[in-house]
C-alpha cells in the first residue's frame, strides 16, 4: 500500500480561497444553530455535580478543549478514559459529541451515564440517532457527517465543519458562563496547568 502524494504547489491564491471557504461555511452553519439548545447545555453545566466529557477522534479533542475551559471556571471536569477519571454518578453531567450520533464508544458512554442516573448533553448532526435519544440537552449542528462526501452540505473533508462549529458552540457556552460569573481572567488563570 502506498501513501497518497499531493502533487503541485499550493500558492497564496489557494490558501486565500480555502480560508474563505472554511470561514464562510463556519459562519453559515453557526448562524443556523438553535441558541435555545445551546443555552440548555449551559443550564446543565451550572447545576451541581461533576462534568465528564466523551468523544472520539477530532470531536473528542474539541471536548478536551472545552473541558479545560470549564475547569478554568472552577467546575470539576473529567475526560472519560483518562486513568484518574472517577465513576460517573447520579447528578453528574456527561457532555458528548458525535457527528453521526452513532459512534459506538460515545453511545456506550452515554448509555452508562444514563444507567447511573447522570444527565447527558449531546452535540450531533443527527436528531434521530441513538445519542440524540439519550440526551437531556441536545444541540443539532447542521453540518455534514464525516462519511457524507457528496451532499453539498460542506466542501470540507470528513466532518471538519461539524468539529469547527462544535468548537465555536462550546466556546460560546464557556464565554456565556464566564460573562455571568463575575470572575476576572486573572483568577481563572490561577487554575491553569502549571505542570506543563
Q: What is the pLDDT of residue 97?
A: 98
Mean pLDDT value of segment 186-191: 94
| CA–CA separation, 160 and 162 (whole Å) | 5
Mean pLDDT value of segment 65-93: 97
Q: Is the per-residue pLDDT at 3 higher than 80?
A: no
Q: What is the pLDDT of residue 7?
A: 74
pTM, 2 dp:
0.92
Q: What is the pLDDT of residue 146?
A: 65
Q: Which residue has the cell 462550546?
A: 170
Longest dimension (CA), the chain: 56
Q: Is the per-residue pLDDT at 1 higher than 60?
A: no
CA 182 and chain centroid, separation? 25
DSSP symbols for 12-78: HHHHHHHHHHHHHHHHHHHHTS-HHHHHHHHHHHTSSS-EEEEE-HHHHHHHHHHHHHHHHTT--EE
CATH number of 36-189: 3.40.50.10490
| CA–CA separation, 167 and 161 (whole Å) | 10
**Of the candidates 29, 99, 17, 21, the residue with the CA atom closest to the CA atom of residue 58:** 99
Q: What is the pLDDT of residue 157?
A: 79
pLDDT tens, position by position, 105-164: 999 999 999 999 999 999 999 999 999 999 999 999 999 766 665 667 787 877 899 999
Q: What is the pLDDT of residue 129?
A: 97
Q: Is the per-residue pLDDT at 13 higher than 90?
A: yes
Q: Is the per-residue pLDDT at 181 higher than 60?
A: yes
> Who has greater pLDDT, 106 or 196?
106
- Which is the catalytic residue, given 24, 163, 171, 196? 163
Active site residue 133: no
Amino acid at each position: 500500500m502506498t501513501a497518497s502524494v499531493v502533487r503541485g504547489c499550493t500558492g497564496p491564491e489557494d490558501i486565500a480561497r480555502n480560508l474563505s471557504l472554511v470561514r464562510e461555511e463556519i459562519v453559515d452553519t453557526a448562524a443556523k444553530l438553535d441558541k435555545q439548545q445551546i443555552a440548555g447545555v449551559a443550564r446543565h453545566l451550572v447545576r451541581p455535580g461533576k462534568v465528564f466529557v466523551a468523544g472520539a477522534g477530532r470531536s473528542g479533542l474539541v471536548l478536551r478543549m472545552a473541558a479545560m475551559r470549564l475547569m478554568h471556571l472552577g467546575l470539576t471536569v473529567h475526560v472519560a478514559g483518562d486513568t484518574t477519571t472517577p465513576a460517573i454518578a447520579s447528578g453528574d453531567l456527561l457532555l458528548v459529541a458525535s457527528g453521526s450520533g452513532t459512534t459506538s464508544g460515545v453511545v456506550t458512554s452515554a448509555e452508562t451515564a444514563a444507567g447511573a442516573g447522570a444527565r447527558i448533553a449531546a452535540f450531533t448532526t443527527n436528531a434521530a440517532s441513538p445519542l440524540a435519544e439519550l440526551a437531556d440537552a441536545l444541540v443539532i449542528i447542521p453540518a455534514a457527517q464525516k462519511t457524507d462526501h457528496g451532499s453539498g452540505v460542506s466542501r470540507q473533508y470528513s466532518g471538519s465543519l461539524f468539529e469547527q462549529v462544535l468548537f465555536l458552540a462550546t466556546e460560546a457556552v464557556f464565554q456565556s458562563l464566564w460573562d455571568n460569573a463575575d470572575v476576572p481572567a486573572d483568577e481563572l488563570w490561577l487554575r491553569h496547568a502549571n505542570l506543563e
